[in-house]
Structure 1
């Protein structure tokens, strides 16, 4: 586990501190941070501004992680920036400075910031990779820090309580910035976030959300609150009008849709086409919200068949229990080239929850089997548990 940001800062220093010229909105949290980043990006672009967005992980191509004006950068541009960041890493090794201990994510983040620093951006929207306090992205300053929510995840790194995890996530908040969050001050995690903000004399902004607000509604409310705050602080669109949440109109929200996040697809089977939803939810808290929202969808009739793979550090029992509460059946599989729960072990956990369950270790074969079962049952298919699984199988589905 890393103990400081010195390797990342050394890389950036060797690259000419490209982050120094950027106005940054920094976004962390357990779920929704990628979608909130995309919505903020869309709102800023709707205001006529030049925007860069850094995201992780990617679904199909590493270039998805570095976007300019809503589009992934060209392969050659990212390759050149990566080469420069690797050169900085090698130079640090020769000189014996902190950058010699930089991770691959440090190098990739430094490359992204180099691209952004040279792109004459109005704003950079930066998504946290893991946690926040010690994440590579925390080498940047920001005017707004967003913590979408906090649930138990990566507990071996971030801590075993929501309070401990909140302390890591709210570590992205800097003096002079505002904190935007859904966390209530009387919540275990929210109290930690509020205390951090108070210690730094930072304002805390919370959206007003109705009970049972959907994932899309929550994400849009957070993004809109960021835009409204920036507008009140004097940030302007290209035409000179203050930034505001109304820039997130229907067209902007539609453009912010990301692959693998409540993404609607379909598959052809011998007995007909099957509706498919791709979603990289990997913690029970997130999956429960996904299933709640999908249960409201009138175009997903019949039972859910879920194709599931999970990394080894995920709460498999809790994840499958969430599926059981929604009456799903399961085809358990494994992620390509990644250590995770064995398909047979997932099947056993699902069966213990009273679900119909099968195990198909190869993900492509598992997708075919799950789609066939969904078709036979007159239902729909959910591919979930990991964005890596979604990325490996997305091309086998149709828009």
Structure 2
């Protein structure tokens, strides 16, 4: 089948899907409080989630990269692995990967077709599935793909929260909670403890819990209490206080692989002796293979401004203050990122704009505010906040023009460029 026809089939399925409630695009003030629509869809499709073993990952930040590292470790151990993630940066197929590569358009279109058909049956019969959301349909499509591809392990990233997230119909071997910070407070709660309660909803009896949250921490205490209630062991990686984002993610993924090894999961493959899984699977080349687009992605751009000068550009979709602070701190450990910075930035309406911008006041950063659609906060409003914080900024509505302006300014002044605040913005710049 030609790629054009595949693209068209996928576009048609997505257009139909977009007519459903899309939690990612709607105002975030309300959230459903049960998983029955998701369970009904899965039942109609033969409960695909029971066909493979699962590592389930929640947390405020680092989920995607941690999932990719666990996936890479399992693949290196000889298993067939699927990974489900959100959001995507460039193309929706990135959300479902098989053996470390985005699923084909044809395969995704087939799965969406089956899921939409189950949804229509539920509507006709007026069962719980009629309340399914955009994310439910996509999630059940991913589970269908994993079953048809006969994956042995699936690594599932929650979309929002945990307790009522579409992914939470599964029984996992390991439940991972990377960290907890204030995000989506209008849905998940106003305190870190309240948010931890939602994310700890992914813990199931029989699973082992892996988290970076210390037991003495208010969020860590909630996770520990939930694990104790269900009789689950908790494993905490030890990381130095000044560990980089990547070192933390690798430490979490390494402990997950250790836990699986202690459960008796052995490496496969003809060449070597079988041995228990463990953090040794995460060697430098495996870590490198797990890098995701738009997460601390460093590129050198040859610009047409001046004598084909080279500008260091970093793409990172950080949209939570503590994550942006960690990104800037990690980068400042490298000489080339100690120069002044020009940031191209868009921030969604439901994000803590003042918090994000105040983390930038500790660095030599000027900002070009832009917009990537209906859910972006107006760049003029962002400029007003920046002014009160003493940050230099300008507004350029078109994101590609804003990026070109940043490159031109960086060429002239010897600065580097950071594209941040939104993965959608990162996707637009990356595509260009």
Under a length normalisation based on structure 2, what TM-score does the superposition of the two structures give? 0.90
Conserved 8 A contact 1:269-1:375:
no
Q: Please report how far the alpha carbon of residue 301 of structure 1 lies from its aligned counterpart in structure 2 after TM superposition.
A: 4.6
Q: Please report how far the alpha carbon of residue 297 of structure 1 lies from its aligned counterpart in structure 2 after TM superposition.
A: 1.6
Q: Which moved more, 1:326-335 or 1:86-95?
A: 326-335
CA distance in 1, matches of 2:409, 2:222: 46
SS at match of 1:151: coil
1:198 to 222, 228, 248: 228
Aligned to 1:84: 114
Conserved 8 A contact 1:174-1:200:
yes
- The answer to whether structure 1 residue 376 and structure 2 residue 406 are counterparts is no
CA distance in 1, matches of 2:238, 2:108: 39
Conserved 8 A contact 1:227-1:243:
yes
Q: Which moved more, 1:214-223 or 1:112-121?
A: 112-121
CA distance in 1, matches of 2:32, 2:52: 25
Q: Please report how far the alpha carbon of residue 169 of structure 1 lies from its aligned counterpart in structure 2 after TM superposition.
A: 0.7
SS at match of 1:325: coil
Aligned to 1:94: 124
Q: Please report how far the alpha carbon of residue 266 of structure 1 lies from its aligned counterpart in structure 2 after TM superposition.
A: 3.3
Structure 2 unaligned segments of length 5 or more: list them: 1-30
Aligned to 2:312: 275
Q: Please report how far the alpha carbon of residue 362 of structure 1 lies from its aligned counterpart in structure 2 after TM superposition.
A: 1.4
After superposition, residues 60-139 of structure 1 pair within 5 angstroms as 60-139=90-169
CA distance in 2, matches of 1:127, 1:275: 31
Q: Please report how far the alpha carbon of residue 132 of structure 1 lies from its aligned counterpart in structure 2 after TM superposition.
A: 0.6
SS at match of 1:25: strand
CA distance in 2, matches of 1:167, 1:327: 38
SS at match of 1:310: coil
CA distance in 2, matches of 1:28, 1:297: 30
CA distance in 1, matches of 2:106, 2:197: 38
Aligned to 1:165: 195
Aligned to 2:207: 177
Structure 1 residues 97-148: Cα deviation after superposition (integer angstroms, max 9, x where no partner): 0000100100000000001012221210000100010000001110101000
Q: Please report how far the alpha carbon of residue 269 of structure 1 lies from its aligned counterpart in structure 2 after TM superposition.
A: 4.1
Aligned to 2:37: 7
- The answer to whether structure 1 residue 385 and structure 2 residue 421 are counterparts is yes
2:250 to 179, 203, 220: 220
- The answer to whether structure 1 residue 308 and structure 2 residue 349 are counterparts is no
CA distance in 1, matches of 2:213, 2:116: 38
- The answer to whether structure 1 residue 46 and structure 2 residue 76 are counterparts is yes
Give the count of matched residue pairs.
395
After superposition, residues 316-395 of structure 1 pair within 5 angstroms as 316-335=353-372, 337-395=373-431
Aligned to 1:286: 323
Structure 1 residues 313-365: Cα deviation after superposition (integer angstroms, max 9, x where no partner): 10101100101111211111111x33221111111211221111111111111
Aligned to 1:266: 300
CA distance in 2, matches of 1:279, 1:178: 31
Q: Please report how far the alpha carbon of residue 374 of structure 1 lies from its aligned counterpart in structure 2 after TM superposition.
A: 2.0
Q: Please report how far the alpha carbon of residue 276 of structure 1 lies from its aligned counterpart in structure 2 after TM superposition.
A: 0.6
After superposition, residues 135-150 of structure 1 pair within 5 angstroms as 135-150=165-180
CA distance in 2, matches of 1:100, 1:266: 49
Under a length normalisation based on structure 1, what TM-score does the superposition of the two structures give? 0.97
Structure 1 residues 38-72: Cα deviation after superposition (integer angstroms, max 9, x where no partner): 00001111111110000100000100000000001
Aligned to 2:5: none
Structure 1 unaligned segments of length 5 or more: list them: none
